Chain A
């Protein structure tokens, strides 16, 4: 399919300008992008289409699959578990996104300065981003362990008996959120630092001359000047929070009593634990549509608040 596109496009070009040089350049161009196009087709596009087909069947992994049309999608809407899982996912996103963005910005403000030693702090805060998510989650699982965990031992020193963090229905999700924030806050922080350093100095000088205080300067100059980065980080963080899986898999396995069972974990469980591949694929497409809708919505709202737009 890809190759017909190539031929047609090449054909159009040929008619427009018959220069052999152009033709050569065109061919070379396609050669250059061929690995990417092939990779996309083989590793992403074809599997995506297969998953779409799978979502219309009841493939049980072993045994025959039969075509069931939109039954899986219909079943999702009457699946009580799905709505609970969606609720958990929204809870995770609602906790993670403001915390992550807020903390990243808070850390970026002093670290964007030119004070000595800032490089070290930046590096330290960025290290978790480079750490494997699984390793990070295992370490934090031990930190939050009930008896021998670092956090509960600290509390013990203060004379407080810590709770069973990861085995308490109301505490498990906040713990996972905090662990995830600490893991990824460094990335957004670095993006904010880059954005803050690009705000022209003369704007601050002018504000100073006009007698603006620190708050006014922040809300009237700094924040508006970094809205494009804010926009990017918010989109990326929201998408990321809908995709959360690794930390849940390692730390709670969706428990206790399903209180941390999020959408991707539910998909994984349906597919690889219960072998309902058709249903799991349909769930994956529902997730895709949710993320697409959220992204489009933000794209639409962007003009309202991002500087230099519209």
Chain B
């Protein structure tokens, strides 16, 4: 009898502890219920924007409120790293906001989940002036002849570089080299090496490809600029294990361990600290770079390969969720945000998908921006050549597997050829799931 009771106690103990182990991990924000008293409508808007961007949106919403006094917009801010996951969980709990930001890599999943609302009629509205939008930027959001989103940011990847460090090393600026057609990957590696200086701790590094050690996709530009790609066009195969993929990893390996011109895994060297010659990032990083006061910087096109330059095109857009209780009002808001005035305002931070705004002062001459000539060279002239980051329903898994491969490169526990072969074995089955 006594033994039985002890058994129960043990069972309970184990149960209770497992339960707490699993329950502690998902504390999301609790959402307050929207009260729709009278005719007033409250729209919820999800974004991963930074504080400066949120402030800009507050201003936009106030403007929108003037013409639509009954519509109130509430911002729900979610960090980018958790964004896709949080939206998926909200969708499962039927607590989705009305409209949201969405980035290119999330589109395949959300389309497959069938949670996006059809907004074809927004773009068809003559006041929206659809023809002004660069046509290719809408491809991502189109499915079966219907439109499920509109872009507000179409940034190509660029090289942000520290002009002071380039001058100190006596190097020609990447802009000038690009002008002469000499800004190649070899030149990039050489410049990075010459900029690097100092002891192991507190060293000044020539370049960093990664943001938070995650953005390996920036390296795809090497293969693209040589006429190859990490994936087959239709995303049915991993092809980075070809000669160009191996060259990409070898370049990184050389920079990390031979030239010591690239930080080692785990080092937190930021561009803002002035200890980094170049970083690869979307143009959107400009909002952060503008706050730099200690050194001069600018932007340049990505280095070129045998086929010229091919930057990576990031894309972010507005979507309406199917389950919104106020689709009419939400569409009005999207029309305003992605319309002329909205895009004009947000171009303070984002590369506008509207032709008319792209060449305007609102985009080019923001306070703290680099020389408009550099923006023209690195952004506007590069956009037609850019490739949209590949997406896939299994992207999260694919991303994890590839990062795992890079871990091995960083830890020097495998040769590039062998690492890429290992990734291919893991990723190919995922692509065909």
Contact = CB atoms under 8 A, between A and B. Distances in A.
B interface: dominant SS: helix
A80 to B, nearest CB: 11
A179 interface: no
Interface stretch (B21-29, B144-152, B370-378): B21-29
Interface stretch (A70-78, A115-123, A142-150): A142-150
Interface stretch (B129-137, B243-251, B402-410): B402-410
A264 B22 contact: yes
A243 interface: yes
A194 interface: no
A258 B404 contact: yes
A161 B200 contact: yes
B14 A239 contact: yes
A179 to B, nearest CB: 15
Interface residues of B, number: 46
B62 interface: no
Interface in B246-267: 263-267
Interface in B261-286: 263-269
A168 to B, nearest CB: 6
B89 interface: yes
B19 interface: yes
Interface in A138-194: 145-148, 152-153, 156, 161, 164-169
Interface stretch (B3-11, B156-164, B293-301): B3-11
Nearest to B213: A167
A292 B11 contact: yes
B15 interface: yes
A274 B396 contact: yes
A257 B19 contact: no
A44 interface: yes
Q: Which of A147, A152, A161, A165 has the most CB of B within 10 A?
A: A147
Given A63-B113, A273-B85, A168 B202 contact: no
B326 interface: no
Contacts of B113: 62-63
Interface stretch (A3-11, A223-231, A283-291): A283-291
Nearest to B203: A147
A47 interface: yes
A243 B17 contact: yes
Interface residues of A, number: 44
Interface string A248-288: 01000001111000001001100011110000000010011
B85 A255 contact: no
A222 interface: no
Contacts of A62: 88, 91-92, 113, 115
Interface string B19-39: 111111110000000000000
Contacts of A48: 15, 19
A156 B201 contact: yes
A64 to B, nearest CB: 12
B177 interface: no
Contact of A291 (B18, B89, B407, B410): B18
B171 interface: no
A152 B201 contact: yes
A291 B19 contact: no
Contacts of A167: 264-266, 407, 410-411
A166 B407 CA distance: 11
B267 A147 contact: yes
Contacts of B11: 292
Contacts of A145: 266-268
B52 interface: no
B198 to A, nearest CB: 11
Contacts of B211: none
A231 to B, nearest CB: 13
B10 A245 contact: no
Nearest to B408: A257
Interface in B188-208: 200-203
B290 interface: no
A243 B89 contact: no
B266 A165 contact: yes
Nearest to B404: A257
B14 A257 contact: no
Nearest to B13: A295
B1 interface: no
A55 to B, nearest CB: 12
B22 A284 contact: yes
A296 interface: yes
A299 interface: yes
A256 B22 CA distance: 23
Contacts of B115: 62
A42 interface: no
B407 A288 contact: no
Nearest to A44: B19
A167 B23 CA distance: 29
A146 B267 contact: yes
B370 to A, nearest CB: 28
Contact of B92 (A51, A61, A161, A169): A61
B407 A146 contact: no
A239 B12 CA distance: 13
B397 interface: yes
Interface string B389-413: 0000000110010011001101101
A272 B267 contact: no
Given A61-B88, A63-B113, A166 B17 contact: no
23 contacts: A44-B15, A44-B19, A48-B15, A48-B19, A61-B88, A62-B92, A147-B201, A147-B263, A164-B266, A164-B411, A167-B264, A167-B265, A167-B266, A169-B413, A239-B17, A243-B17, A243-B18, A256-B407, A273-B396, A284-B22, A292-B14, A295-B10, A299-B6
Given A243-B17, A264-B21, 4 more contacts: A165-B266, A256-B410, A258-B404, A292-B15
The 10 A-B residue pairs with the shortest CB-CB distance in the complex, in nearest-first order? A256-B407, A146-B266, A167-B265, A243-B21, A292-B14, A147-B267, A288-B18, A62-B113, A167-B266, A257-B407
